[in-house]
């Protein structure tokens, strides 16, 4: 007999025991990716704060899993003690997010009275909420262990009712304020692209946290009015919480990881672009940059640039300024824009200089050539060396005898 497809609520109920390990695994991976930077730049308080935030989020999802809840209850011998523990972690996470956003936006150097006062109130307020959670739990009578529906099961139990409401209100408050700060920040002009995208992920993540709070509070209020909307708490809120945590993790990591990857790609691209000119200069000098096993990409780029410029300086007496002028005019005549025509002219001149260097004698120059542009624009020159056909066309036109009338047909 074919079973009917599970409804969304049925799907969540079916996989609820293992559901929480998905975001936990993603958060653990994010923390592992970030950990080397945190260790290497330990003095950076922002990196430490992001690492601590990811660790808190990971702890929430590890301890909210039913198997962990049961294990903590058995280990302590106190029924449902996991409830105040998980709620404390969630409250601490909300407060830490709020603190990080305040610090991140205002900058570490901002020690204004307003910023200090805001951070002090966040610390005092959320520390007080966590203390109140444990006091209320100590006063509550919760003998029946509940692994997944404790919020609605004890919704009408004295003190436990207040405990549940307190953590939900605290979490809603932090999500609302953080969400407001984030979307207000996004509208600021002049933001880095990676930071803006990170803030957008954070904004959506915190909006989903508000949806999580709304689902939980609706189920709680329904219980107070003798109605059963428990599915909102057990089937709707969990996936919202998981997706929100993932988006928040991405939002905090993206500005740092994105900029790091962007810088790495930029360095790799620069190395790739300089390769043709580097190989040409290596053929001129008869040697290249010595290989260093543990050299970073940045160090390799600096050494390659230095080697190219040093070799170009040794070619200075073979540079033909007249050829460069005629090559530029030829490139412009062929329809190339001025910046590219300049690079093509330099490429033609450098190739001619390498040929002259390997020939007999030293050319007679009335004045020292100006190598400033050559040394400054090595990246553009190297890119043009990849376009052999364009370089040959410019060279051919530039070396045509002055008396010959050269017409270029487009």
User: How far, rounded to the nearest angstrom, does the alpha carbon of residue 141 sit from its chain's CA centroid?
Assistant: 46
Contact between 269 and 300 (Cβ < 8 Å): no
What token pair was written down for 160?
A: 């436990």
Give pTM, 2 decimals: 0.71
What token pair was written down for 148?
A: 């997944």
Contact between 49 and 82 (Cβ < 8 Å): no
Long-range contacts, 359-364 (Cβ 8 Å, 24+):
362/317, 362/318, 363/317, 363/318, 363/320
Measured CA to CA, the distance from residue 308 to residue 373 in angstroms comes to 13
Measured CA to CA, the distance from residue 290 to residue 294 in angstroms comes to 12
Measured CA to CA, the distance from residue 96 to residue 52 in angstroms comes to 9
Measured CA to CA, the distance from residue 213 to residue 221 in angstroms comes to 12
Contact between 57 and 89 (Cβ < 8 Å): no
What token pair was written down for 330?
A: 């030829």
What token pair was written down for 259?
A: 């900029």
Please measure the distance between the N-terminal and C-terminal CA atoms of the chain and give it in whole angstroms. Answer: 75
Q: What pLDDT was estimated at residue 225?
A: 93
Q: What pLDDT was estimated at residue 1?
A: 38
User: How far, rounded to the nearest angstrom, does the alpha carbon of residue 51 sit from its chain's CA centroid?
Assistant: 13
DSSP one-letter string for 130-197 = HHHHHHHHHHS---S--SS-HHHHTTTSTTHHHHHHHHHHHHHHHHHHHHHHHHHHHTSTT--HHHHH
Helix segments in 286-337, DSSP class H:
297-314, 321-333
Per-residue confidence of the chain (410 residues) as pLDDT tens digits?
334 445 555 555 556 666 678 888 888 887 887 787 778 777 777 778 778 888 888 898 899 888 899 999 999 999 899 999 999 999 998 888 888 888 777 665 556 777 788 888 889 999 999 999 999 999 999 999 998 889 999 999 999 999 999 999 999 998 998 888 888 888 887 778 888 888 899 999 999 999 999 999 999 999 999 999 988 988 888 889 888 888 888 887 788 778 778 888 888 898 899 899 889 888 888 777 777 767 777 888 888 888 888 888 888 888 888 888 899 999 998 889 999 999 899 889 889 888 887 766 555 554 556 667 677 788 888 998 898 889 999 888 888 745 444 444 43
């Amino acid at each position: 007999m074919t079973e009917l497809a599970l409804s969304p609520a049925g799907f969540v109920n079916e996989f609820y025991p293992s559901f929480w390990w998905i975001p936990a695994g993603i958060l653990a991976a994010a923390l592992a990716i970030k950990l080397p930077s945190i260790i290497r730049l330990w003095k950076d308080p922002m990196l430490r704060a992001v690492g601590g935030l990811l660790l808190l989020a990971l702890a929430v999802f590890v301890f909210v899993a039913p198997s962990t809840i049961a294990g903590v209850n058995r280990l302590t011998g106190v029924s449902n003690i996991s409830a105040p523990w998980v709620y404390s972690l969630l409250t601490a996470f909300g407060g830490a997010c709020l603190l990080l956003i305040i610090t991140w936006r205002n900058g570490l150097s901002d020690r204004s009275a307003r910023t200090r006062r805001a951070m002090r109130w966040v610390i005092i307020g959320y520390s007080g909420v966590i203390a109140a959670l444990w006091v209320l739990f100590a006063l509550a009578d919760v003998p029946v262990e509940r692994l997944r529906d404790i919020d609605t099961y004890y919704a009408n139990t004295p003190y436990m009712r207040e405990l549940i409401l307190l953590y939900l209100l605290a979490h809603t408050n932090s999500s609302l304020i953080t969400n407001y700060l984030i979307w207000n920040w996004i509208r600021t002009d002049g933001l880095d692209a990676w930071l803006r995208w990170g803030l957008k992920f954070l904004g959506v993540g915190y909006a989903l946290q508000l949806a999580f709070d709304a689902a939980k509070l609706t189920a709680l209020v329904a219980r107070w009015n003798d109605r059963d909307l428990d599915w909102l708490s057990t089937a709707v809120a969990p996936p919202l919480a998981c997706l929100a945590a993932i988006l928040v993790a991405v939002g905090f990591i993206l500005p740092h990881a994105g900029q790091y990857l962007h810088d790495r790609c930029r360095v790799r691209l620069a190395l790739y672009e300089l390769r043709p000119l580097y190989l040409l200069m290596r053929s001129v000098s008869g040697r290249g940059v010595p290989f260093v096993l543990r050299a970073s990409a940045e160090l390799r780029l600096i050494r390659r640039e230095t080697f190219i410029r040093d070799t170009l300086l040794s070619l200075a007496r073979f540079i033909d300024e007249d050829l460069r002028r005629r090559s530029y005019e030829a490139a412009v005549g062929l329809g190339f824009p001025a910046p590219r025509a300049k690079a093509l002219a330099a490429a033609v001149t450098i190739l001619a200089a390498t040929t002259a260097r390997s020939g007999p004698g030293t050319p007679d120059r009335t004045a020292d050539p100006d190598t400033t542009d050559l040394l400054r624009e090595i990246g553009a020159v190297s890119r043009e060396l990849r376009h052999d056909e364009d370089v040959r066309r410019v060279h051919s036109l530039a070396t045509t005898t002055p008396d010959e009338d050269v017409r270029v047909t487009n």
